[in-house]
Amino acid sequence: MGAEARLLELGIDLAEGSHPVANYEMVAASGRLLFVSGHGPVQANGALLRGKVGDAFSLEQAYEAARLAGLAVLATLRGELGSLDRVSRIVKVLGMVNCAPGFNRMPEVIDGCSDLLIEVFGDNRGRHARSAIGVAELPFDIPVEIELVCEIE
Amino acid sequence: MGAEARLLELGIDLAEGSHPVANYEMVAASGRLLFVSGHGPVQANGALLRGKVGDAFSLEQAYEAARLAGLAVLATLRGELGSLDRVSRIVKVLGMVNCAPGFNRMPEVIDGCSDLLIEVFGDNRGRHARSAIGVAELPFDIPVEIELVCEIE
Amino acid sequence: MGAEARLLELGIDLAEGSHPVANYEMVAASGRLLFVSGHGPVQANGALLRGKVGDAFSLEQAYEAARLAGLAVLATLRGELGSLDRVSRIVKVLGMVNCAPGFNRMPEVIDGCSDLLIEVFGDNRGRHARSAIGVAELPFDIPVEIELVCEIE
């Protein structure tokens, strides 16, 4: 099953892709590789979630924030490619968590994005290499930021 | 207009490329992709700027520091390629800001580098995907570090 | 001399590759590029080192931790490729150091990994672009995390 059919089945209705907050592009391609800029967790009303994980956000809430950031990436990819079915492989995810001091369960947080990608693209296309790190600050105090590299057909 | 002609027009006189501060290379290539190591803001006298953004550096000063780091990347690219005209696309920038607690205007800071790249390479070749993050510490306490991936002809 | 012969000469006996701690893969390929997930320092008994550099870990101990993380990457690459001799170039390393406040000698720490890679793969294949940054937190409070991109034949 393709990613677009799978989204329908999951009942996921992607928003329009978001716009850069400064002087860059949401995506840039070289050959078959697409480099996707860092995306934050955009709520249904279009506003970004804000606050530190381990303080304003519990682990469970941060997992959901990472899923929202993943949905924002998917919206960007569909806007860029026309269809998510053109993605042949999610290659590499960098998940950045805006950590309160001492919070170090980043892998569980970033699973919110990785689980989504594997649900949508399936095991063959969706499984990816990944690093999950805890940063001191993120733009606008968002709790999670996701950037990724994918391969297109 | 090519990037080298544009540099002349802008009155930008690049320094010689800088040297690694440890056991690595400033650039490594694979196919048409060039991976450029993290670069800091080198002043005209060759010394690095040092201090945290939101404390020792204001937003405006940090923007200039990001531009200086971008100039250091350009110097490395010219040293590696002979001419910046061989760059067909700036693909991806990772901008890291050495943040004082609570400073989260990283996108505006990293525009100091992105604005430069687009001035020099133009809209088609210069526009790039990007992530901007706030890190706890950077080598030598530099305020900004820029790494990037570009494509060569 | 190939990397596998060089490992023997150095008396390095790689462990089995480690497993992901969450929902991702240790490696993902696109074309000739292999993207390797973030790896931490795994001790001979299989346990991860834990603690901040500049506090629980001295510079020298952190250098050794970076070497251990590099060995974990090599174990993953051998598990994936069957032989390290299939690696044609280490392209790019991202070294993340879990810094105590004020510690900023990350380049010397990450040399623990870079020195190993150059010892094993030699100057032509082992030398790489690199960024070294200080992050606020790392998963499980590991002192160092290494991710890299390499090229395969």
With an 8 Å Cβ cutoff, is A59 touching chain B? no
Mean pLDDT of chain B, nearest integer:
96
Is pLDDT of C16 > 90?
no
Residue of A33, A103, A104 to mutate when probing chain C, most C C-beta within 10 A: A104
Mean pLDDT of chain A, nearest integer:
96
With an 8 Å Cβ cutoff, is B143 touching chain A? no
The average pLDDT across C74-100 equals 97
Q: Do A141 and B104 touch (CB under 8 A)?
A: yes
User: What's the pLDDT at A86?
Assistant: 98
CA terminus-to-terminus distance, chain B: 16
Q: Do A136 and B132 touch (CB under 8 A)?
A: no
CB B104 within 8 A of CB B23: no
The average pLDDT across A137-149 equals 97
User: What's the pLDDT at C70?
Assistant: 98
Cβ-nearest to A114 among C22, C26, C138: C22
Q: How confident is the model at residue B16 (pLDDT cuts 50, 70, 90)?
A: confident
User: What's the pLDDT at A87?
Assistant: 98
The average pLDDT across B71-77 equals 97
Nearest CA in chain B to C33: B30
User: What's the pLDDT at C139?
Assistant: 96
Cβ-nearest to B28 among C91, C110, C111: C91
Contacts of B24 in chain C (CB under 8 A): 93, 114, 127-130
The average pLDDT across C48-59 equals 97
With an 8 Å Cβ cutoff, is A141 touching chain C? no
The pLDDT tens digits for A50-101 are 999 999 999 999 999 999 999 999 999 999 999 999 999 999 999 999 999 9
Look up tokens 């600050």; give the residue: A137
Contacts of A63 in chain C (CB under 8 A): none
DSSP string over C4-73: HHHHHHHT----PPP--SSSSBSEEEETTEEEEEEE--B-TTSPBP-S-BTTTB-HHHHHHHHHHHHHHH
The average pLDDT across C45-70 equals 97
Q: Do A131 and C30 touch (CB under 8 A)?
A: no
Question: Considering the domain A3-152, what is its CATH architecture?
Answer: 2-Layer Sandwich (3.30)
Residue of B19, B23, B73, B133 to mutate when probing chain C, most C C-beta within 10 A: B23
DSSP 8-state symbol, C109: H
Cβ-nearest to B129 among A36, A136, A145: A36
User: What's the pLDDT at C105?
Assistant: 97
Which of residues C21 and C25 earns the better pLDDT score? C25
Domain ranges in chain C are 3-14+25-152
The average pLDDT across C138-152 equals 98
Is pLDDT of C120 > 90?
yes
CATH dotted code for C3-14+25-152: 3.30.1330.40
User: What's the pLDDT at B136?
Assistant: 92
Question: Which H helix or E strand runs over B91?
Answer: strand B87-98
Q: Which of A51, A144, A136 is nearest to C133 (CA)?
A: A136
User: What's the pLDDT at A17?
Assistant: 84
User: What's the pLDDT at B104?
Assistant: 95
- Select the CATH number that applies to the domain covering B3-13+21-152 from these four: 3.40.50.970, 3.30.1330.40, 3.20.20.10, 1.20.1250.20: 3.30.1330.40
With an 8 Å Cβ cutoff, is A118 touching chain C? yes
The pLDDT tens digits for A13-36 are 999 888 898 999 999 999 999 999
With an 8 Å Cβ cutoff, is C46 touching chain B? no
Strand order in the sheet with B129-135: B27-30, B33-39, B144-152, B87-98, B129-135
Q: How confident is the model at residue C116 (pLDDT cuts 50, 70, 90)?
A: very high
Chain C nearest-CA distance from B130, in A, is: 16
Nearest CA in chain A to B103: A137
The average pLDDT across B68-96 equals 97
Residue of A52, A92, A141 to mutate when probing chain C, most C C-beta within 10 A: A92
User: What's the pLDDT at A18?
Assistant: 84
CB atoms within 10 A of CB C124: 9
Q: Which of B142, B88, B93 is nearest to B113 (CA)?
A: B93
B: neighbours with 3+ CB pairs under 8 Å? A, C
Chain B nearest-CA distance from C42, in A, is: 22
The first and second tokens of residue B40, run together, are: 């800091």
Contacts of A27 in chain B (CB under 8 A): 129
Task: Label residue B152 exposed, middle or buried (CB < 10 Å: 0-12, 13-18, 19+).
Answer: middle
Chain C nearest-CA distance from B70, in A, is: 15
Full 3-state SS string of chain A: CCHHHHHHHHCCCCCCCCCCCCCCECEEEECCEEEEEEECCECCCCCECCCCECCCECHHHHHHHHHHHHHHHHHHHHHHHCCHHHEEEEEEEEEEEEECCCCCCHHHHHHHHHHHHHHHHHHHHHCCEEEEEEECECHHHCCEEEEEEEEEC
The average pLDDT across B134-145 equals 96
With an 8 Å Cβ cutoff, is B89 touching chain A? yes
With an 8 Å Cβ cutoff, is A49 touching chain B? no
Angle at A16 between CA A11 and CA A22, to 5 degrees: 140
Is pLDDT of C3 > 90?
yes
The first and second tokens of residue A153, run together, are: 């057909």
Bridge partner residues of A30 (DSSP) = A33
Cβ-nearest to B133 among A26, A33, A135: A135
With an 8 Å Cβ cutoff, is B115 touching chain A? yes
- Please give the share of chain B, as a percent, with pLDDT higher than 90: 95
User: What's the pLDDT at A1?
Assistant: 87
The pLDDT tens digits for B83-132 are 999 999 999 999 999 999 999 999 999 999 999 999 999 999 999 999 99
Question: Which H helix or E strand runs over C116?
Answer: helix C106-126
Is pLDDT of C150 > 90?
yes
